[in-house]
Amino acid sequence: MSASTLDAIDRALIKATQSGLPVIQRPYHAIAEQIGVDPETVIERLQRMVETGVVRRIGVVPNHYALGYAGNGMSVWDVDDIHVDRLGQAVGQLDFVSHCYRRPRQPPDWPYNLFAMVHGRDRDQVRKKSEQIRQLLGEHCRSHDILFSKRILKKTGLRL
């Protein structure tokens, strides 16, 4: 499935959800009513779009600042390539990491291949949490840094 194979219902569904799902008890029912289909169709169509890659994921995008987490920082790690996938999965399971992913290095200026967004109430808390990641990575981590957020970037979903 690609954007060119979306039918009218798929397009209506994307338009209805591109700003997010309504924060109510039965969001799929509300979307179904809005676009004139049953809730099961909404769920099935969204599931199919995720499975085919049209939609990457459906999830909550919290405003960490509004929740009191102002010390957010992207921790970056230079981890042995043969261990980075396994260790990245372990880092991604930590409760203070919202997302973790592997990226190619850009030598000589950028040696890092593992990224983990760490949230804390202040920068000191983020540093302490990042130290927990360093300990988890152990001898497989050659270097790391933390890139602290300076402003909020607007996150958006799929747009038509």
Please state whether the predicted TM-score (pTM) of the whole model is above 0.85: no
Residue with tokens 């300076």: 150
Instruction: Give a three-class secondary structure readout of 60-118.
Output: CCCCCCCCCCCCCEEEEEEECHHHHHHHHHHHHCCCCEEEEEECCCECCCECCCEEEEE
Can you give the pLDDT of all 160 residues of the chain as single tens digits?
Answer: 555 678 999 999 999 988 788 888 999 999 999 999 999 999 999 999 989 888 877 776 666 666 666 678 999 999 999 999 999 999 999 999 988 999 999 999 999 999 999 988 999 999 999 999 999 999 999 999 999 977 665 555 555 5
Contact (CB, 8 A) for 137 and 131: no
- Three-state DSSP class for 30? helix
Domains for the chain: give ranges and CATH numbers.
Answer: 3-52 (1.10.10), 73-148 (3.30.70.920)
